[in-house]
Amino acid sequence: MIRCLAIAGYRSLRDLTIELAPLTIVTGANGSGKSSLYRALRLLAEIAQGRLIASLALEGGLGSTLWAGPERFSREMKQGTMPVQGLVRSGPVALQLGFADDDFGYAIDLGMPSDSGHFANDPEIKLEAMWTGPRLARANLFAERRGPLVRLRSGETGEWRNSFESLPGFDSMVTHCADPQDGFELLMLRERMRNWRFYDTLRTDRDAPARAGQVLTYTPVLASDGADLAAALLTIIAIGDEAALAAAIDDAFPGSRLRVEDGALAMTQPGLLRPLAAAELSDGTLRYLLLVAALLSPRPPALMILNEPEGSLHPDLLPALARLLVQAAEHCQIVLVSHSEALVEMLRQEPCAAAVVLEKQLGETRVRDAEPPRWAWPSR
């Protein structure tokens, strides 16, 4: 389980470190930085897929994603007695991402490219580090990348050896230095990060793919847009927790049952003489079914991130969704970004849950009424 998430120099996240629980609810006012935190998690996941630089390019390049304020705020700036202005920098321009779980910690530092030609907007990976335990120290560091050089420490002798000497600035050591024999820990980290699952584009509109029939195949993981909903639900019935699925449906829609026939999803409801096809279901009903399929996956991920799952849901469905989230958190770690005060209040009462309330001060995203966990960035 990820214990600590650290982000620095990314959009409004000048220097943010938060502690994660089995179920973490990220909330706050509009513009407080919830979307930036969500996107930062996606960027971390893109490292393991080899798409980090391309993802930053889609956001406008490094210059568009960097923190736009001063490197630090003076006491006078915070008190309002001096206008916010740039000070003499004490460190290089950097976008930094990192996390630490029960076994390993990882951090990456991206900076301005050394090439001023055609790829002047292409960020360059300046440094990467991987260590054992929750916090970086000299003794527990076992993989390090500085510029093009990657070094790995032997677990038996403790000696450092060069693994790569010319790794390009757009490639990560997580993807290019991980193999079962040379860099096994990097391989474990990469596969763990590749297992993270994001849901923020579950479609419920009239033309949503989930409303159409489909060819049914075993689908233990719901697609990010929910296109294979019928197959995912049928897979839960076949090899997953069928009783939990039935209970989740009955919790939200008492007396209702799901049917999947000839590749099409339908729902029977008390009082109706025929089942309702997926095309006939309301947006809220379909959204709830998509969340059920995601959260009751027979192959739960190490980490699941949900962005505003309460969209389209009637307030009466929020208690059922809250119970479903708590149940799913027993099998995988969940980070939930939510605008719903009602849902947040329901969940924060649970022992497994913790609320992270974001707010902005002088354009910087901060966590309200919380002491940040200890974290140390590797230095260039």
Contact by Cβ (8 Å): 127, 134:
no
Length of the chain: 380
Strands 257-261 and 141-146: unpaired
Which pLDDT value is given to residue 114? 78
The pLDDT, as a whole number, for residue 81 is: 76
State the DSSP code for 262: T
Return d(Cα 168, Cα 278) in angstroms, integer.
Answer: 48
Packing angle of the helix pair 283-295, 229-239 (nearest 10 deg): 40
Q: Are 246 and 306 in contact (CB under 8 A)?
A: no
Q: Are 178 and 167 in contact (CB under 8 A)?
A: no
What pLDDT is attached to residue 247? 97
Per-10-residue mean pLDDT for the chain, 380 residues long? 96 96 97 95 95 90 86 76 70 92 93 74 90 89 94 83 91 86 82 94 92 91 95 96 97 95 89 93 96 98 96 94 98 96 96 96 92 92
Report the pLDDT value the prediction gives residue 87, as an integer from 0 to 100. 60
How do 23-28 and 353-361 pair as beta strands? parallel
Q: Is 162 left (phi over 0), alpha (psi -120 to 50) or beta?
A: beta
Q: What pLDDT does residue 88 have? A: 56
CA angle 142, 4, 55 (to 5 degrees): 80
Report the alpha-carbon distance of residue 147 to residue 126 in Å, rounded.
5
In the chain, the amino acid numbered 127 is L
pTM (two decimals): 0.92
Q: Is the dihedral of CA 214, 215, 221, 225 positive or negative?
A: negative
- The residues with which 364 forms a beta bridge, in sequence order, are 361
- From its phi and psi, is residue 33 left (phi > 0), alpha (psi between -120 and 50) or beta? left
Give pLDDT, residue 182. 66
Q: Which of 335, 378, 344 is nearest to 18 (CA)?
A: 335
User: DSSP class of residue 287?
Assistant: H
Q: Name the residue among 172, 325, 174 with its Cα closest to residue 244.
A: 325
pLDDT at 139: 87
CB atoms within 10 A of CB 352: 15
Domain assignments of the chain as residue spans, ordered by start: 2-9+43-195, 205-300
With 0-12 / 13-18 / 19 or more C-beta atoms within 10 angstroms meaning exposed / middle / buried, residue 193 is buried
CA distance 304 to 337: 11
Please report the pLDDT score of residue 72 as a whole number: 79
Phi, psi of 159 (to 5 degrees): -85, 145
